[in-house]
Copies of this chain bind each other. A is one copy, B any other.
């Protein structure tokens, strides 16, 4: 399934909905599940409201934590919406894209970790500074932890931080963790993956370089914005995450093109490393790092105010954001 979170335009209160993409429509899963429970005679109106609120919550971390219970409920709801006749004149189960605003599919992961898994990217980025790839890169899947308070979704504006002169995008994809675990081997790691999404790790290159020179890694150079979306695609729909075409366009012009198969390490190997003596938890986000030539830094280019950055990955959709001056 392809899960989204969305707001309905002109609908109040402005509470997020959990949705699934069905052809060119977005299905409101909670309403569909409530009607399914009623029509199947499983419980009464009060209970169907309570249970659908809980199972098809738009809090994506809680939805993932609910595990198979919520996934099964989502499948029931989607089937119900597909086959539903117009028996419910006062209910609306599906929306056109024009009627809604997509939100980031997950906004409250406990941890957002971002890796550096593409050899070509680190080679190119280091070469720009006259440096080689550090031999330790081949030994350790290095990462920094991102900021979970600044996650943006598809079509959200990204505000240019006051402190930078050099804003950049990074073409990445992310794996979403499906359940809690510790000391997970790479062989078992697939069980811990919920799905995948596109990630744009926006970067303020001037301050990032300064911060990395002090040794604690990037902070203000990254923490103002990470875009995720447009949806989370469950892993069953991505049989091979290591052969995805990855493209970045700026104002419609192609700047970057790569393939996820050039990752030096798999997410399964990354999960083994991260979970060594330390828990990973449902909803955690693991970013792949930038694909080779997947950012302006490697191309000698920079973003400008009002640029529209569009990342497209096969099977995962298109994630588009505009850069705005605050």
Contact = CB atoms under 8 A, between A and B. Distances in A.
A147 B146 CA distance: 11
A278 B224 contact: yes
A84 to B, nearest CB: 38
B224 A277 contact: yes
A278 B161 contact: yes
Given A215-B212, A220-B273, A279 B150 contact: yes
Contacts of A213: 134, 136
Contact of A279 (B116, B146, B149, B277): B149
Contacts of A224: 277-278
Contacts of A116: 214, 216
Contacts of A215: 134, 142, 212, 217
B217 A144 contact: yes
Interface in A25-68: none
A21 B46 CA distance: 43
A278 B136 contact: no
Tier of interface size on chain A: 35 or more
A292 B217 CA distance: 21
A14 to B, nearest CB: 18
A163 B276 CA distance: 8
Contact of A140 (B149, B161, B210): B210
A305 interface: no
A144 B278 contact: no
Contact of A277 (B144, B159, B211, B212): B159
Contact of A220 (B163, B278, B281): B278
A130 B146 CA distance: 30
Contacts of A149: 110-111, 278-279, 281
A326 interface: yes
A95 interface: no
Interface string A219-235: 11001100000000000
Interface of A: 110-111, 113, 116, 134, 136-137, 139-140, 142-150, 159, 161-163, 207, 210-220, 223-224, 273-274, 276-279, 281, 326
